Structure 1
Amino acid sequence: MNVHAEYILDENSNTRSVIIPYSEWREIVEELEELDDIKAYDQARHEANIEVIDFEQAVTDIKTGKIV
């Protein structure tokens, strides 16, 4: 992701604010929301102590009747 930021500096040349195009801001917000979802999923899985198997194994187990 490319961010086209403009910086606002104070009288001592310290960065005080950043201006970015709205479309880039929306993209950043969407990415942050996705990361929050991933973190929540990982936390719930950890708390529930759920065993995770890969997709191909799940399909094989379903076809052989190990998982209904």
Structure 2
Amino acid sequence: MTTREQYVVDEAGRPTAVLVPLDEWERIQEALEELGDIRAYDEAKRQHSDPVPFEQAMAEIDGDAGI
């Protein structure tokens, strides 16, 4: 990914912020969201759990599990 960032500097010339074009910022946000999904998937795979029937899982998601 190529970016066209601009730096905001303070009086001493130290970088304090970065300006990124909106379209690039949206791509960065999408990539971070995808990375979050991948990490959540990897974590779920590391945890052992017994399979749940589809109907039960849907009932739990809908809040109708009655558990």
Deviation at 1:39, TM superposition (A): 0.1
- The 5-angstrom pairing of residues 1-12 of structure 1 reads 1-12=1-12
> Which residue of structure 1 lines up, in the alignment, with residue 20 of structure 2?
20
Total equivalences in the alignment: 49
> Which residue of structure 1 lines up, in the alignment, with residue 64 of structure 2?
none
Structure 1 unmatched runs, 5+: 50-68
- Listed one character per residue, the Cα deviations across residues 2-51 of structure 1 (whole Å, up to 9, x for unaligned) are 110000000111101100100000000000000000000000000127xx
Structure 2 unmatched runs, 5+: 50-67
> Aligned pair 1:44/2:26, yes or no?
no
CA RMSD of aligned residues (A): 1.0
CA distance in 2, matches of 1:48, 1:23: 40
Aligned residues with identical type, % of pairs: 41
Calculate the TM-score normalised by the size of structure 1.
0.69
CA distance in 1, matches of 2:48, 2:38: 15
CA distance in 1, matches of 2:48, 2:36: 18
